[in-house]
A and B are shown apart, each in its own frame.
Chain A
């Protein structure tokens, strides 16, 4: 529980909470970016350099931009999409909040109730080289499956988003 952890955790929580509570979807995406950059910093703080940078590339460079493009393509210039009225407590808000709170309570109770015993406190040194070796030897099958998945996702996304030809239906 260092100071750095607390700061980064605060950035992450504030960013993601903002992402889920702002009314303007673009603001939500920007908040999400802050939260995910905080998360990437946490990864770096934990010693996982490669994962941290990959997180930034994938989420800030790709997913956030993709989401922004999707918002611009679906809502165009309209700024406020969800009700512009003041937020009010509706049954759905209560139910959703309760479910989320309950999940958090259960998870927290499980963690605090059973403190983990084996704590490895030395920062492990991990080089990109090691990750590459593992990817090419132990994890070569998952890697190939990922490659197939990504190709399938690429083709699938293109086909889904492609405008259907006129007269086909």
Chain B
């Protein structure tokens, strides 16, 4: 088998399987054969991630983490899954039954729908839409509604507060998220995710042409990742589910399998935004060095995805939770100006063809506003070692 065959093995096997299907059912069978692997692969990744996350967080805090089920606790996800499946499904008496039931379903469906436009490997995308990026954000906006439905229908003050926080946070951070990804659209000239990956193809002396290796691309990637963390409600932006204040946020009244569905939806959303970050800035399924192209494209995609997931876990183990005003201030006073300036930087990069000129100019255009903004955010705040009157 040549490397190319290994790379295309899923595509080839799909066509081989389609050969056995009568011509009338071919479109349907093709869709099913594209969708089912996605429906299997990402929940499996979710299962692995929960174990990785718990073990990683444990090690960060000098603990063992789960180590009882299976070798080194690796099958903990199976135990968790069985537990959540067999638990009693409690619905509050005052809850809006229909909406309460629909909310987790809508969340998971919206999270799964986003995977339709993400290229997992070469020629491996469920639907190559012309407006793929727009589709991704359209589907992502449905998550907000699901979150609101969950919080409102539970008829509990904690879940309502959590839902309001989550919706406010998601709306605020959707603006920088979209603006940070628009620089890539400007550079590649297309909204199609496949075309964006193709625009980053090619190598200069073994180094790839990824957008992250440009000043605006790097800044865009960092801003995108911050916004993605906030969008997926992960620490340090996990106010909607801040345990110390509102217990579990919008899904507090859910139990058993519906709770597991919320968990799944949240992680699927995180994977989807990470995968979009890979597609937009990290060259999608492309290999990082030209001499490593023999490794199949989907392997590279999942390696990058796992790297970003590990980074998310690392961040979660490091940073404390923000306050609500800090969160909103971050979105509107730092992220929004930075993303808007980044748009300008990308335009300058496009219109300065001379690499000797455009590198310093664009780097300055990114670094100077960052320094100024971070100085201004710190203004009036004296940071000092905190003294405690009673606890010591």
Q: Do chains A and B touch in the complex (CB under 8 A)?
A: yes
Most buried by A among B144, B145, B164: B145
Contact of A57 among B129, B138, B164, B191 (CB under 8 A): B138
Given contacts A57-B134, A57-B137, A60-B142, contact A49 B149 (CB under 8 A): no
A53 CB contacts on chain B under 8 angstroms: 131, 134-135, 137-138
In contact, A60 and B190 (Cβ under 8 angstroms): no
Contact of B130 among A49, A56, A64 (CB under 8 A): A49
How many chain B residues touch A (CB < 8 A): the figure is 25
B315 interface residue (CB < 8 Å to A): no
Contact of B129 among A49, A60, A65, A129 (CB under 8 A): A49
How many chain A residues touch B (CB < 8 A): the figure is 22
B174 interface residue (CB < 8 Å to A): yes
Our count of residue pairs bridging A and B at CB distance below 8 angstroms stands at: 63
Complex Cα distance A81/B138, Å?
Answer: 31
* B277 CB to nearest A CB, Å: 19
Per the 8 Å Cβ criterion, residues 132-166 of B in contact with A are 134-135, 137-142, 144-145, 148-149, 152, 160, 164
Given contacts A26-B152, A30-B99, contact A61 B174 (CB under 8 A): yes
A57 CB contacts on chain B under 8 angstroms: 134, 137-138, 141
B139 CB contacts on chain A under 8 angstroms: 56
Complex Cα distance A118/B299, Å?
Answer: 53
B48 interface residue (CB < 8 Å to A): no
Complex Cα distance A27/B149, Å?
Answer: 10
Complex Cα distance A127/B195, Å?
Answer: 13
A69 CB contacts on chain B under 8 angstroms: 164, 167
What per-residue 1/0 map shows which CB atoms of A61-72 lie under 8 Å from chain B?
110110011001
B252 interface residue (CB < 8 Å to A): no
Given contacts A128-B131, A128-B191, contact A56 B142 (CB under 8 A): yes
B171 interface residue (CB < 8 Å to A): yes
B135 CB contacts on chain A under 8 angstroms: 53
Contact of A54 among B129, B134, B142, B160 (CB under 8 A): B134
A61 CB contacts on chain B under 8 angstroms: 137-138, 140-142, 144-145, 171, 174
Interface residues of A (CB under 8 A from B): 26-27, 30, 33, 49-50, 53-54, 56-57, 60-62, 64-65, 68-69, 72, 77, 127-129
